Structure 1
Amino acid sequence: MSPVRFWDLLTEAERAELVGSGHSRRFHRGERVFSEAEDDGSTAVIASGKCRVVAHGEDGVGTYLALRGEGDIIGEMAAIRGGPRSATVTVVSPLVMAHVFAKATFHRLLAARPALTAHLLVVMIERLREADQCQADLAVASTELRFNRLLLRLARAEGVHTRDGVEIAGVTQLDLAGWCGISRESVGRHVRRLQSNGVLAAGRSRGRLVVRDLEALRHGTLLTPS
């Protein structure tokens, strides 16, 4: 999740106006808040819960962009620039509550309160910095390092602590391959390697990984790229 959250930048008056201008919606795990290619232009601020943001290329391969949570704004790019959305936002927590704003309402708010535009700019600059850093990491990393870093990112952002370890749900090997730019065969090899080292729990079920040793995984992200 972004370290700079839109809601945290707002004054109490700005928060009150936002809540009064939008409508509250509830989304359940697996439900899409926004989908790529749709053109409604609405925007939302997450009040509680977590959402995964993934973009797909023309070949259908997905790229993991971010996890957004409480206080984060989503859908703002489509609202500002117009046209189809460039990413899909899916709920990964049991429930997400969000304040949703129609495109015209959001534009009216930005025009009436210039400070909101300034807050939005701060968030967008931080997100560009995040994206640039992720791209730089992928450019110089071996497949092993890419996989370790993605897994650590997912564990920290989406992981649920259980008695078996940190569980990452709703992720397939095909997802992992696309998100870190490696083959599905490489993903399988890296999963087996981490299982043999005790970092991942053995006997992985479809769409579920359990990180047993988060510190060892973190150490694996510090390996010298090859």
Structure 2
Amino acid sequence: MDRLDRSGPDPLLKPQRAAARGTWRWPETSLLGGLSDAARERFLSLGIMAQRPPGTVLIREEDQSTSVLILLDGVVKVTGRTQDQREALLAVRVGGDLIGEFGALDGKPRSATVTSCGPLVYRLVTRSDFLAALTTDAVLSQAVSRSVVDKLRVANSRRIDFAGSNAPTRLARVIYDLAMTYGEREGTDIVIRWPLTQPEIASLVGAAEPTVFKALKHLREAGIVNNGYRRIAVRDIEKLRGVAFP
């Protein structure tokens, strides 16, 4: 998605829990946010509710586990080990997203580690229940397929970015994508609240930390972003888009 869609509900709504009903609102770009009420209810009838504290490893790379996690509230980071055993941040996921579906679909060892970045609420679904739902429910099957395709498109785009653009451009694209997918409106700003460190952001961009720090400083001095402790406010989304996609 290149531009904000102003024709319908704001896609930058913060996932929230309505305490009286025990339900949440999710970004429309997420799997849960894109489902109809009926389909979402069917999907959330699967599995059991679970909660975990910050720093919990939910899925470990190379493990043989095959369960699926439907994230309801919170943030997780997806990491992998490089050949020289460094930890690389591959993606972030929030409430409304699905994780673990690759292992459930093909039965192969986990391709990455998933760790909670804060308090997390999710539904834990066994592989058998997940596959049965996809077999019997065409709407859910199509929604999960679209979600998988979206992830693969993002992965391909990132590979192209790494090969064909410099670090400042890659940083701008990462911030732009995060803002458009998970940002929260705060006045005229779009705020990204991530419990991610600067080294983790550098890993996501694929650049050295000093390089990312310098690029972020330039965006700040240009009045495009304003960053604080684990928080980035996009002040001008169109200028950011211009830097990200020159």
Same-fold status (TM-score > 0.5): yes
- Give the whole-Å Cα distance in 2 for the aligned partners of 1:137 and 1:75: 25
| Alpha-carbon shift at residue 146 of structure 1 (Å) | 0.8
2:158 aligned residue: 134
Write out per-residue CA displacement over residues 97-123 of structure 1, whole angstroms, 9 at most, x where no aligned residue: 322112343344445x26354543333
Paired residue for 2:241, among 194, 218, 221?
A: 218
Confirm or deny that 1:23 pairs with 2:29.
Answer: no
Residues 12 and 154 (structure 1), Cα distance of their counterparts in 2 relative to 1, 3 Å cut = closer
Write out per-residue CA displacement over residues 41-96 of structure 1, whole angstroms, 9 at most, x where no aligned residue: 111223344444343433324143353432x322111122224311233445x654
- Give the RMSD, CA atoms, in angstroms: 3.5
Higher helix share: 1
Confirm or deny that 1:174 pairs with 2:199.
Answer: yes
Residues 14 and 162 (structure 1), Cα distance of their counterparts in 2 relative to 1, 3 Å cut = closer
Residues 189 and 80 (structure 1), Cα distance of their counterparts in 2 relative to 1, 3 Å cut = same
Percent of paired sites with the same residue: 22
| Alpha-carbon shift at residue 128 of structure 1 (Å) | 1.9
Structure 2: 5+ residue runs without aligned partners? 1-26
2:60 aligned residue: 35
| Alpha-carbon shift at residue 10 of structure 1 (Å) | 7.2
| Alpha-carbon shift at residue 186 of structure 1 (Å) | 1.0
- Give the whole-Å Cα distance in 1 for the aligned partners of 2:78 and 2:204: 11
Paired residue for 1:64, among 90, 107, 120?
A: 90
Alpha carbons 2:31, 2:143 under 8 Å: kept: no
Q: TM-score, normalised by structure 2?
A: 0.68
Residues 55 and 68 (structure 1), Cα distance of their counterparts in 2 relative to 1, 3 Å cut = farther
| Alpha-carbon shift at residue 150 of structure 1 (Å) | 1.3
Aligned length: 216
- Give the whole-Å Cα distance in 1 for the aligned partners of 2:186 and 2:150: 32
Residues 2 and 126 (structure 1), Cα distance of their counterparts in 2 relative to 1, 3 Å cut = farther
What SS does structure 1 have at the residue aligned with 2:105? helix
Structure 1: 5+ residue runs without aligned partners? none
1:3-22 aligned at under 5 Å gives the runs: 3=29, 5=31, 8-9=34-35, 12=38, 15-16=41-42, 18-22=43-47
- Give the whole-Å Cα distance in 1 for the aligned partners of 2:193 and 2:63: 28
Q: TM-score, normalised by structure 1?
A: 0.73
Residues 24 and 217 (structure 1), Cα distance of their counterparts in 2 relative to 1, 3 Å cut = same
| Alpha-carbon shift at residue 143 of structure 1 (Å) | 1.7
Paired residue for 2:168, among 144, 153, 156?
A: 144
What SS does structure 1 have at the residue aligned with 2:69? strand
